[in-house]
Amino acid sequence: MRPSRHFIALFLAASAMMLGAGQAAAQQPTNFPVISLNAGIHVIRAEVAARDAERQQGLMYREKMGPNEGMVFLFGEPAGVCMWMKNTLIPLSVAFLDEAGKIVNIEDMKPQTTDSHCAKKPVRYALEMNQGWFRQKNIKPGMVIDGLPR
C-alpha cells in the first residue's frame, strides 16, 4: 500500500510544526532558582545556574533583565573560567568571584558574540549583570559579594 499525497503532506506539516516547537522550546528561558545576594548596600536578585545544562543555557534568548537582576554561575571547584555570549541578546558585565566571594575581575561582554571573557585566576563563581551595573554601583575587584550558595 502506497501512502497518499494527502497523508504525506500532513506528515510533513506535522513534522515541521514539531521541529519548530522544539526550537522555540530551546529558546525559552529555563526557570532557575532565585537567591538574594548583597554587593555592599545593593541587593541582587540572582538566578542560580549550578548544573552544567543550566550554565550552558545561562541568559540566552532573554530580551531584558531588571535593573538589580542577574545570574550567578556556580562551579564545583575553583577553576579557570571563561564566559561568552552566543545567543545572548542583552549586553552584560560579568564579575568573576573566588571561593570567598571576592571579585577577581569584571569584564563587559557584547551580545551575540563568541569572544571569550576569562577570569584572571581560578574562581568558583561568575555573576552576570546588565552591562555597566558594577561600574554604576562603584563595585570593583577586591570587593566581596555576600550570600553566595556553597
Chain segment 3-50, per-residue pLDDT in tens: 444 433 333 333 333 444 444 444 555 689 999 999 999 999 999 999
For residues 82 and 97, membership in a common domain is answered with: yes
Closest listed residue to residue 95, CA positions, set 32, 34, 137, 60? 137
Whether residue 54 is found in the same domain as residue 119: yes
My answer on whether 50 and 103 are in the same domain is: yes
- Whether 23 and 44 map to the same domain: the answer is no
pLDDT of residue 49: 97
Give residue-wise pLDDT tens across range 111-137.
Answer: 999 999 999 999 999 999 999 999 999
Q: What is the pLDDT of residue 9?
A: 37
Note whether 47 and 113 are same-domain residues: yes
Rounded distance between C-alpha atoms, residue 8 and residue 28, angstroms = 30
Query: 42-49 and 69-79: which strand pairing?
Result: parallel
| pTM for the structure as a whole | 0.81
Domain shared by 54 and 6, yes or no: no
Give the phi and the psi of residue 80 in degrees, each rounded to 5.
-70, 120
Query: Which structural domain range is residue 6 located in?
Result: 1-30
Based on the domain organization, do 39 and 21 belong to the same domain? no
Instruction: Report yes or no: 113 and 85 within 8 Å, Cβ to Cβ.
Output: yes
Q: Are residues 49 and 122 part of one domain? A: yes
Going by C-alpha positions, the residue among 140, 145, 126, 149 that lies closest to residue 41 is: 145
One domain, residues 12 and 41: no
Write out the three cell numbers for 19.
521541529
Are residues 127 and 137 both part of a single domain?
A: yes
Give me the pLDDT at residue 27, please.
55
Domain count, the chain: 2
